[in-house]
Homo-oligomer: A and B are copies of this chain.
Amino acid sequence: MHKQPFNKVTVLGVGLLGASVALALREQGLCGAIHGYGRTEENLRQAMEQGIIDNYSLDAREACEDADLVFLATPVGLFRGIAGEIKDILKKGALVTDVGSVKGGLVYELEALMPEGIHYIGSHPIAGSDSSGAVDARPDLFHNARCIVTPTPGSDKKAMERIISVWKSFGCTVELIDPFRHDEIYAAVSHLPHLAAYALVNTVDDINADYISFAGQGFKDTTRIALSSPEIWRDIALLNRDNLIKFLGLLKGNLEKIETLLKDSDAAGTAGEFAKAQELRRRIK
C-alpha cells in the first residue's frame, strides 16, 4: 500500500475504537488530516489537544466533506441515521466502513443507502474492552487482533481490498465472514456473555447488594464485561436481538438443567455438565 493513500479521513465517534483508528492511521502514515465527529464537544476538544484528530465538527455532514475514508465508530444504533445524513455529501469514490459489533441486515441497509460510486464495507475489529473512552485509545489496539470483514454479493471488490489493507496495516488478521453468520457467532461468544454478566450482577443486587464486597477474582473476571457501556451494549443487544432472544432461551435451558440436577442431588449428572463445559472451554485456554 502506498503511503498516505487517503488525504482526509473522518472518524465518526471518537471513543476507544474511533480514537485508536485515528492513532493507528497516523502511525502507519496512511492519511493526511483526520477529522472527528461526535456529540460531546469536550471529548472532541480533548482528542484534538492530544493530537488524535486534527479537527472536529459537531455536524456529521460537515465532518465528512471531502473525506476519502469514513469510519463509523459511534454506538452501532446510530449508524443508519448518520449514514442517511452524510450519504449525499460524500465525495465520489469515498470509502465508508465501520467498527460495529453487529453486521447482519445492517450491512445490507448501509450498503443500499450509499449512492453510486461510494462504497460501504462492513468491518468488526475484535479489540474493544470494558472501557469505551478515547482516553484509553492506543495506536496498537488492533495489533494481533482479529478483524472480521463482512462482504455481501454487492460489495465492490476493489473497495474491499483497500479496507482489508487498512486493517492489515494496523496489525489485524482479517477474516471474511457473511454478515448474518457474523452476528450468530458474536451473539454466542460476545453478546450473550455480556447479557449474562449484566444479569449475574443484577442477581447479586437482588440477593443483597452488599455481598458484592465479598467478590473474589472469579466473580471479578466473570462480570468484568458488566462494566461495559450500557449505551453501546443496548444498541448491540437490540440490533442482534433475534439471535440473542434465541440464545437467552438456550442459556436459561442450561441453567435449568443444572437446577434440576441439583434438585435431584444428581452428583454424576452435575459433574458431567461441568466437565462438558470444562472440556470445550479448554480449547481456548
Flag whether A203 is at the interface (Cβ < 8 A).
Answer: yes
Flag whether A285 is at the interface (Cβ < 8 A).
Answer: yes
Complex formed: what's the CA distance from A272 to B274 in Å? 32
Inter-chain contact A271/B189, CB cutoff 8 Å: no
Flag whether A156 is at the interface (Cβ < 8 A).
Answer: no
With a CB–CB cut-off of 8 A, which chain B residues contact A200? 192-193, 196, 251, 254, 277
* A266 (CB) vs chain B CBs: closest residue: B238
Inter-chain contact B254/A199, CB cutoff 8 Å: yes
With a CB–CB cut-off of 8 A, which chain B residues contact A31? none
Inter-chain contact B226/A281, CB cutoff 8 Å: yes
Inter-chain contact A270/B202, CB cutoff 8 Å: no
Contact with B along A183-214 (1 / 0, CB 8 A): 01110111011111111111111111101111
Contact with B along A117-137 (1 / 0, CB 8 A): 000000000101100000000
Complex formed: what's the CA distance from A245 to B259 in Å? 6
Taking the closest CB of chain B, its distance from the CB of A76, in whole angstroms, is 12
Q: State the oligomeric state as a number of copies.
A: 2
Flag whether A1 is at the interface (Cβ < 8 A).
Answer: no
User: In the complex, which of the residues B189, B237, B272 contacts A219, with contact meaning CB atoms closer than 8 Å?
Assistant: B189
Inter-chain contact B267/A238, CB cutoff 8 Å: yes
Inter-chain contact A230/B199, CB cutoff 8 Å: no
Inter-chain contact A218/B193, CB cutoff 8 Å: yes
Flag whether A112 is at the interface (Cβ < 8 A).
Answer: no
Complex formed: what's the CA distance from A248 to B200 in Å? 10
User: In the complex, which of the residues B201, B204, B229, B255 contacts A199, with contact meaning CB atoms closer than 8 Å?
Assistant: B255
With a CB–CB cut-off of 8 A, which chain B residues contact A274? 198, 226, 228, 230, 233-234
Flag whether A263 is at the interface (Cβ < 8 A).
Answer: yes
> Which 3 A-B residue pairings sit nearest by Cβ, starting from the closest?
A230-B274, A199-B254, A201-B277
Name 6 A/B residue pairs within 8 A (Cβ), A-sorted: A198-B278, A202-B277, A219-B284, A226-B274, A238-B270, A255-B255
- Chain A positions within 8 Å of B, measured between CB atoms, are 77, 126, 128-129, 146, 184-186, 188-190, 192-209, 211-231, 233-234, 237-238, 241, 244-245, 247-259, 262-263, 265, 267, 270-278, 280-285
Q: A233-B274, A252-B252, A255-B255 are in contact. List 14 more A-B contacts (CB 8 A).
A: A185-B214, A193-B218, A199-B257, A202-B257, A207-B247, A212-B280, A226-B277, A226-B278, A226-B281, A228-B278, A230-B272, A234-B271, A244-B259, A244-B262
